[in-house]
Amino acid sequence: MVRATSFHGTLFETPMSKPHPLSADHPMTAVLDQQGTGTYFGIDVPFMEHIGLKPVSLTDGCCRTRLSLHPALVNSRGDMHGGTLMSAFDFTLSAAARGHDPLRYGVITVDMTTHFYEAARSDLTVIGRCARRGRSIAFCEGEMIDEAGKVVAVAHAVFKLILAKDAQK
């Protein structure tokens, strides 16, 4: 049995025998959810807390977060500000880059490109996927989906993997 999964409008078939990386029943999601509020997959990121980004799930190479529409995060037209969207992308994609060992690695953003398809006027689901990871560089891509199921923005990013401060001891 297979499940159809959409990413950038492309359907992928994934086996149903093990939990899908974005599902709440995936074992890594349960471990990360036990860390409580204020942490983002094992690390403290005050700016993400400031914009209201909520961690949902993290697996090896896949991350999902939620961003709620809030009056302080909008532009002059009342749409979610592009800088807020790019910040949410940066965190979500970087988490996917370190998803194979989230407490051992940190990342530095080398490059990120964002394309805005539509104005964001509702809460958003942010999905990041690590397309390829080497010893020190990770290539990631992601999409933002509004409450109606429309992709409102996509991003591609390159991250340099570094040992986290705690892992260097």
Annotate 100-138 with b (16+ C-beta within 10 A) or e (fewer): eebeebbbeeeebebeeeeebbebbbbbbbbeebeeeeb
Q: How many angstroms separate the CA atoms of 156 and 134, rounded? A: 16
Three-state secondary-structure class, residue 20? coil
Angstrom distance (rounded) from CA 24 to CA 100:
18
In terms of CATH architecture, what is 22-168?
Roll (3.10)
- Most confident stretch, 11-20, 23-32, 34-43, 129-138: 129-138
Q: Which of 98, 79, 89 is nearest to 41 (CA)?
A: 98
Query: In whole angstroms, what is the distance from residue 63 CA to residue 149 CA?
Result: 18
Please provide the average confidence, as pLDDT, over all residues in the chain: 82
For the residues 135-150, what does the mean pLDDT come to? 97
Q: pLDDT band for 42, please (50, 70, 90 cuts).
A: confident
The residue-averaged pLDDT of 76-97 equals: 97
